[in-house]
Amino acid sequence: MRAARLIKMVLLLQSRPSMTAAELARELEVSERTVTRDAQALSEAGVPVYAERGRAGGYRLIGGYRTRLTGLARGEAEALFLSGVPGALREMGLEDAASAARLKVSAALLPSLRDASRTAAQRFHLDAPNWFHEPETPELLPVVADAVWDDRRITARYRRGRVRPQGDADGAAGEVGRELEPYGLVLKAGVWYLCARVADGGSFRVYRIDRFTAVESGEERFARDEEFDLPAFWAERAGQFARSLLRAQVVVRLSPEGARRLPYAVDAPAAREALEASGAPDADGWVTVTLRVESEEVAHTQLAGLGPEAEVLAPEGLRERFARDARRLAALYGE
């Protein structure tokens, strides 16, 4: 356990000019006191770790010290080859670079581990798109990806999801022009998104790549905000988006089986929230919940899957739709 942590500490210091004790503690998931002890142990073992005191101080490696990719276990080598997503790399135009990198890593491994890429590929494959969905690679994705890797500003035209009747001041109806600082790409269920900041100190926003109608990448580079955390930013925005869709409420009475199946029929977080806020079951074991939904139309489609395990109590219009469904079903299946 400690040996793996010491190796990780060396690799972290090798990849950066300097790191504070707090930064190392966060990366290694230990206390700063443990970082101090580990740095001393490395120094005693001959690894030239140097500690600089003061506000701008930290730990660094001196003398251009480098370690090699030796000592990898088979599981570690196979995990390394699983870190790439072949389809995504191909769509971004990075397939050749990724292939070259894999060859170089394979050449550096011990002979007994050089089949790790093949064994990993035979045991794991990522198919990102949803079922019944044929993904199309956005034509402008490679241009955007190049700009992301090089921290270069782009000038883009973007088609809004909903066209404004009166159009936009800076372009044709439904399109806007933006100068963006592209920070990162996200592949979500087969759809590519760009997380970018509007140039010159604007806000961070999310754009669907397939809605870009034009992208020009210049030579001007932007200064990346080192505090920006792409996974955290995406998780926050994705949560906000999901919550923003749930604009209506319905009141539903659920059997025990209906309560169990509810998270599989509707938005899972909304279902859990509704069930946690529900009162005690009635004499028949049914619970009444207030559920956030996208609309009555969507709720009708989703809750229909619960069949007789759910009774809609409100709103009245939705309850009447289910009553009509019940009468039609009775007519179809009755004697």
What tens digit of pLDDT does each residue of 85-131 get? 667 777 777 777 777 677 677 766 667 776 777 777 777 777 777 77
The pLDDT of 54-82, averaged and rounded, is: 70
pLDDT in tens, 144-173: 999 998 999 999 999 876 533 333 334 444
Is residue 328's pLDDT more than 60? yes
The pLDDT of 28-49, averaged and rounded, is: 89
Answer yes or no: are the C-beta atoms of 24 and 65 closer than 8 Å: no
Is the preceding omega at residue 269 within 30 degrees of 0, hence cis? no
Model pLDDT, residue 166: 35
The pLDDT of 240-250, averaged and rounded, is: 89
The answer for residues whose C-beta is within 8 angstroms of residue 91's C-beta and 6 or more apart is 137, 141, 142, 192
| Among the ranges given (85-94, 104-113, 295-304, 309-318), the one the predictor scored with the smallest mean pLDDT | 104-113
- What is the spatial distance between Cα 18 and Cα 51, in angstroms, rounded to a whole number? 9
pLDDT confidence bin for 143, thresholds 50/70/90: very high
- In this structure, what is the dihedral angle of CA atoms 229, 231, 233, 236, given to the nearest 10 degrees? -140
* Average pLDDT of the chain to the nearest whole number: 84
Is residue 280's pLDDT more than 80? yes
**CB atoms closer than 10 angstroms to residue 335:** 2
Model pLDDT, residue 305: 94
Answer yes or no: are the C-beta atoms of 159 and 213 closer than 8 Å: yes
